[in-house]
Amino acid sequence: MALKKDITTRQGIEIKDAYFRVVSVRLNSKSGMEYVVAYSKDNESPAVDSTSYDCAYSLSGNNPIAQAYTHLKTLPEFAGATDC
For 62-80, write each residue's pLDDT tens digit: 899 999 999 999 999 999 9
**Is pLDDT at 61 greater than 90 in this prediction?**
no
The span from the CA of 77 to the CA of 84, in Å, is 17
pLDDT, position 19: 97
Q: What is the mean pLDDT of the chain?
A: 94
Cα distance between the two ends of the chain:
6
The span from the CA of 35 to the CA of 82, in Å, is 19
Q: Which residue has the higher pLDDT, 65 or 11?
A: 65
